[in-house]
Amino acid sequence: MTDYNAMADEEFRLMLREFIEREYPPELRNITRRARRGEMKGWWGKLHARGWIAPNWPVEWGGMALDAGKTVIYLDELDRHGVARAPDQGITQVGPLIMRFGTEAQKGHYLPRTLSGEYIWCQGYSEPNSGSDLASLQTSAVLDGDHFVVNGQKIWTSLADDSTHCYVLVRTDRQAKKQQGISFLLVDLATPGLTIRPIVNLAGHGEFCQVFYDDVRVPRENLVGKLNEGWTVAKALLGFERLGIGSPRRPQYALRRLEDLARAKGLLDDAGFADRYTALKLDIEDGAALYRRFVEQVKRGEALGPDVSMLKIWTMETWQRITDLLIEAGAEDGVIAGVREVAGVETDFLNPFYYARPSTIYGGSSEIQRNVLSRYVLNLPS
């Protein structure tokens, strides 16, 4: 097994780049929507065959065991080539949680099937009245013999209609304080009683879903961690999720699209536009420096603290400002849906704008993140 962490960074980067440029389907480069399972199946298979599908997993479970620095290079190369995000929540989220909190039986069953792509996961957290205040969730799970009986509704479940399994937070003790009465379940989406309804987003894509649970029977053995301690399991994920969401890759990509258009139209010769563009470029550099700081913290084996919330705020709000300026730069073409050729440059103006809008909501809204920073970092009163 190759020790990728022992390789020089540039050697590792060039190895990835050569493989990606040779093997990744050209028709899926730089698509402006979430890719579907069927579209990514061939690419997933190629990565899996090389042992490259799970950069963050240990070798014993088929991963690359990359340290934080090599992981950043891995992600940078995917982004540089415009590789679409695969349905990877099993790899990035629930897989590591099963390794940490799951039973040996759960590890032996779920991890290999997740790695191969047989099991595709979605996240069942948010509810119609429990989004940023996730601990107020009401979907219930009542023990009945060897099964939990689950009733309730989840919403904004990304690609649930394209998934086979869901990891779900449910309330198992209504008398306990809200964080203390939650459990973490693994649910097969083929279980009777489940109804999935896609939601069309602003860009016209069916990326999100509502998921209804009506007397859905989930085996007790699908409980991850201890009963009523699912908040501990879920919380272990949140810091790393905010690190991933806070990566500078999305605003960097949007800025490149803006720069290409601006150069073609001569907008950078305008002092006012150039000032706004430069300010955004510097904002990205600031965010990237902050991101590297947290990456180094993870690399040292240190837990991420509540201050990681500022990374998501800064990165996502910068992304929104870039897409705002992209539409302005497009002038009359900037408000027309689809790819437009402007000054010889093909640009999609509205899709990036639409996708940036909810970025300050999902993964914990900017308002909630600011509350976290004020309370737990600055020690301000509630």
Give me the active site residues, please: 241
- Closest C-alpha to 256, from 341, 328, 337, 323: 323
In whole angstroms, what is the distance from residue 64 CA to residue 52 CA?
A: 6
How far apart, in whole angstroms, are the C-alpha atoms of residue 186 and residue 167? 5
Residues 6+ apart with CB under 8 A from 348: 32, 338, 339, 340
Q: Where are the strands (E) in the chain, listed by range?
A: 121-124, 140-144, 147-154, 165-171, 182-188, 194-199, 208-219, 223-224, 339-342, 345-348
Q: Quickly count: other Cβ atoms within 10 Å of residue 156's Cβ.
A: 21
**Collapsed DSSP state (helix, strand, coil) of residue 302:** coil
Q: Which two tokens stand for residue 142?
A: 């009542």
79 C-beta neighbours (distance < 10 Å), count: 16
Distance CA 114, CA 136 (A): 30
Nearest 5 degrees, angle CA 230-CA 233-CA 236?
A: 145
The terminus-to-terminus CA distance of the chain in angstroms comes to 52
With beta carbons less than 8 A apart as the criterion, state whether 314 and 287 touch. yes
Say how many C-beta atoms besides its own lie within 10 A of residue 98's C-beta: 23
Max intra-chain CA distance, the chain: 72
Task: Round the CA-based radius of gyration of the chain to a whole number and report it.
Answer: 21
> What CA dihedral angle connects 45, 47, 50 and 53, to 10 degrees?
-110
